Amino acid sequence: MQYNQKLFRSIANTENGEVSAATTFWYHQEGEVVWADYRGGSVVKGHLIAKILPGGELDMVYQHLNTGGEFRTGVCHSIPELLPDGRIRLHERWRWTNGDGSEGTSIIEEVR
C-alpha cells in the first residue's frame, strides 16, 4: 500500500481516545517509513512516525498536544484494509505511553 500524500479521517475510536471525526491526518511515505501530521477536534497538533512491517502492517509511535494543553504520547499497531473503491482503511490498536497507560482501538479511513 502507498500512503504518500493521502488524507485520512477517524471513523471510530474508543472513549479514552482523543481523535475524533474532526481530526485529519496527512500521510507521507518514503520506502518503508510512513509519517503524518494530524490535528482537529481535541488535537491541536500531532505527529506520528511508523515503519511498514513485512506483512504490510504499520508499527508506529505518536505524540500530540491537546486542547487542554497536555502532551500525549502513545504507540499504535495498524492493520490496513483495501476498500472496494481503492481507498485504505486502517484498523488500529493503540496504547497511551503517558497518563493512565490505557489501551484502545480506532479506525481511520482515507478521504478523497
Q: Count how many domains the chain has.
A: 1
Residue 1 has pLDDT above 90, yes or no: no
Q: What pLDDT digit, counting tens, does each position of 55-94 carry? A: 899 999 999 999 999 999 999 999 999 999 999 999 999 9
The pLDDT score that the predictor gives to residue 31 is 97
The candidate with the shortest Cα–Cα distance to 37, out of 17, 56, 66, 62, is: 62
The pLDDT score that the predictor gives to residue 49 is 98
Q: Which amino acid is at 79?
A: I
CATH number assigned to the domain comprising residue 44: 2.40.128.30
- The residue-averaged pLDDT of 97-102 equals 95
User: Does any domain span residue 102?
Assistant: yes
Cα separation of 65 and 107, whole Å?
21
Range of the domain at 53: 6-111
User: Does any domain span residue 1?
Assistant: no
The candidate with the shortest Cα–Cα distance to 40, out of 59, 60, 66, is: 66
Confidence of residue 24 (pLDDT cuts 50, 70, 90): very high
Rg for the chain (alpha carbons), in Å?
13
| % residues pLDDT > 70 (the chain) | 100
Structural contact between residues 11 and 26, judged by C-beta atoms closer than 8 angstroms: no
Structural contact between residues 56 and 80, judged by C-beta atoms closer than 8 angstroms: yes
pTM over 0.85: yes
